[in-house]
Amino acid sequence: MIRRLNVYEAVQERLKMVFDNFDYVYVSFSGGKDSGVLLNLCVEYIRRNLPGRKLGVLHMDYEVQYSQTTDYVRRRLADDSDVIEAYHCCVPFKVASCTSMYQSYWRPWEESKREIWVREMPEHCYTSKDFDFFNDELWDYDFQLLFAPWLKRRKHCRSVCCLVGIRTQESFNRWRAIHSDKNYRRFGNYKWTHNIGGRLYNAYPIYDWKTSDIWVANGRFGWYYNRLYDLYYQAGIPIGRQRVASPFISQAIATLAVYRVIDPDMWGRMVSRVNGVNFAGTYGSTVAMGWRSVKCPPGFSWRRYMEFLLATLPEETRRNYERKLDVSIRFWRERGGCLSEETVEKLRERGIPINVGGPSAYRTDKLPVRMEYLDDIDIEEFKEIPTYKRMCICILKNDHACKYMGFAMTKKEKEQKERVMKIYKSITHGKL
C-alpha cells in the first residue's frame, strides 16, 4: 500500500523540483502568514540541501500597513540575509481603492505626497528609478508581472521561477487559478505551476495547505511570524478573515476600522493619506457601503435608487458607472451571459422573459441566456443575474471596477494592459 505524503513532505518534493530545474528562484513575500511560511520552507530547504545558493525575495511595500507588518518584514529579511537576496520595492504604482467615490486608486510612495507619507521610506529599497520598465500607468499587478523578466535580465540566467504562497482553501478564484487549464501552460505535468512567458514561471507549492497547516508549521518548527495575527485573534477576528493586504481594497474595507484599535498611530496618519479612509473605517461594514442587508428606500425601485445614487457622484465617477452599465445591458441583451439549467428553470418559473441559446463557445456547460436587466430577484444565484440592485451595491461599495457585477476590463483598461504586455514581451525577448 502506497503511503500518501503529508503536506510538509509534499512541499519538500515540490521545492526539489523547482530548485533542480530553475536557475533562479524567488519568493513573492507580502508579510502575511502564507508567504511567511513559504519563505521559511524555502530557507530551510536551501540550508539543508543547497548550501551557498541564494533565494530572491520580492516584497512590494504598499507604504500603508500595520506597524507589526513593517517590523516583521524588516526582521524577516535581516534574519537570513546570508541566504536571502531582498528586493524591497517602494514604487508608486497604481493600487485600487474603494474608500472614496472620488478616487478609484492611490499611489504608495508618491513623491508629490512625501509630506504626508505614513512612514519614512526604508533604507536600501528599490524605487521606480531602478526599473527601466516603470511608467505612471502601471498597476501593482502589472509591476509584479514585469518584475520577473527584469530579474531574469539582472541575474543573467535562462530560467526564473516565482514562488507564490496562495492556497486554494482561501477562495474559489484561487482554486480556479491553480486548477484551470484555460489560460496557462504548466511546467511539465505539475498543475501547481503556470508559465508566464518564455522561461518564466509562477509556482504555488503550498496550494493544498489548510489554514491549520500554516499555524501547525509555525508552532512545530518555532518559526517567527507576523505578530499582527496575535492581535487579530485578540480583537476577535475569525482566523479565516485574518488578512495582510492593502487596507483600501474592497475585501479589506469591512475590517478597516480595526486599525483604530490595533495601530492607532498608523490610523491617524492613514486618514490624511488616502481620500475617504475615515468614512470607510466608520461605515465600511454597514449598509452605507453596501454591506449586510441593503434595502431599497421606501417609494423607490432599485433602478430609481441607482439613478439617485449616480446623481450624487462626481461627474467622472458617474460616467464610469454609466459606461459599465451600458456595456452590461447591451451584453445581456445581445450576447447573453452563461447560466446553469437550474438557474434558467428558476427564471422561467418566475415568468421572467429570457432567450436561451444552445451550446456556446464558452468553455462551460452553462447556457447563454439573453435577457433585460431586472430590478431585483430573490434567488440563490442572485450574483449571476443582471439587476439594478447589484449596480446599487457597486456604487455604495465604491467598487469602481464593478467587480461585484462580474465586470471585465474596459476598453481603456485593456489598452493599458496591452501596452504593459508589449513592454513585457520586449523585455522577455531581450529588446530592452
Q: How far is 280 from 416, CA to CA, in rounded Å?
A: 29
How much is the pLDDT for 406? Answer: 74
Q: Please give the Cα distance from 36 to 27 (Å, whole number).
A: 10
pLDDT of 278-302, one tens digit each?
444 444 444 444 445 678 888 899 9
Helices (H), 113-263: 140-155, 172-179, 211-221, 228-234, 250-253, 258-262
- Among the listed residues 416, 113, 80, 78, the one whose alpha carbon sits nearest the alpha carbon of residue 270: 113
In this structure, what is the dihedral angle of CA atoms 246, 77, 215, 16, given to the nearest 10 degrees?
110
Which pTM does this prediction carry? Answer: 0.73
pLDDT in tens, the chain (432 residues): 456 789 999 999 999 999 999 999 999 999 999 999 999 999 999 999 999 999 999 999 999 888 999 999 999 999 999 999 999 999 999 988 767 666 778 899 999 999 999 999 999 999 999 999 999 999 999 999 999 999 999 999 999 999 999 887 654 455 555 555 555 688 888 989 999 988 999 999 999 999 999 999 999 999 999 999 998 888 788 887 777 877 776 665 556 777 777 888 888 888 778 775 644 444 444 444 444 567 888 889 999 999 998 998 888 888 988 998 999 999 999 989 889 899 999 999 999 999 998 655 555 578 889 999 999 998 988 888 999 999 988 888 778 888 777 775 444 555 555 565 565 556 555 554
Query: 7-212 has which CATH code?
Result: 3.40.50
Matching residue, cell 456547460 = 365
Each residue of 168-219: pLDDT tens digit? 765 445 555 555 555 568 888 898 999 998 899 999 999 999 999 999 999 9
Question: What would you measure as the largest C-alpha separation in the chain, in angstroms?
Answer: 72
Phi, psi angles (nearest 5°) of residue 95? -130, 130
Q: Where are the alpha helices (DSSP H) in 258-371?
A: 258-262, 264-273, 277-283, 302-311, 315-330, 341-349
Provide CATH 3.40.50 ranges for the chain: 7-212
Per the CB < 8 A criterion, the answer to whether 14 and 192 are in contact is: yes
Phi and psi torsions of 288, nearest 5°: -60, -25
pLDDT per residue as tens digits for the range 67-90: 999 999 999 999 999 999 999 999
Find the angle CA(255)-CA(256)-CA(259) to the nearest 5 degrees: 110
CB 117 within 8 A of CB 98: no
Nine cell digits for residue 92 = 508608486
128-to-109, 125, 131 alpha-carbon distances in Å: 10, 10, 6
H or E segment and range at residue 57: strand 55-60
Backbone angles phi, psi at 150, to 5 degrees: -60, -45
Neighbouring C-beta atoms of residue 220, cutoff 10 Å: 9
Query: Contact at 8 Å (CB) between 150 and 138?
Result: no
d(CA 167, CA 163): 12
The helix/strand/coil state of 56 is strand
> CA 280 to CA 118: how far, in whole Å?
18
Report pLDDT digits (tens) over 18-34. 999 999 999 999 999 99
Query: For the packed helices 388-396 and 315-330, what is the interaxial angle rounded to 10 degrees?
Result: 150
The DSSP call for residue 244 is -
Confidence (pLDDT) at 405: 79
pLDDT score, position 236: 82
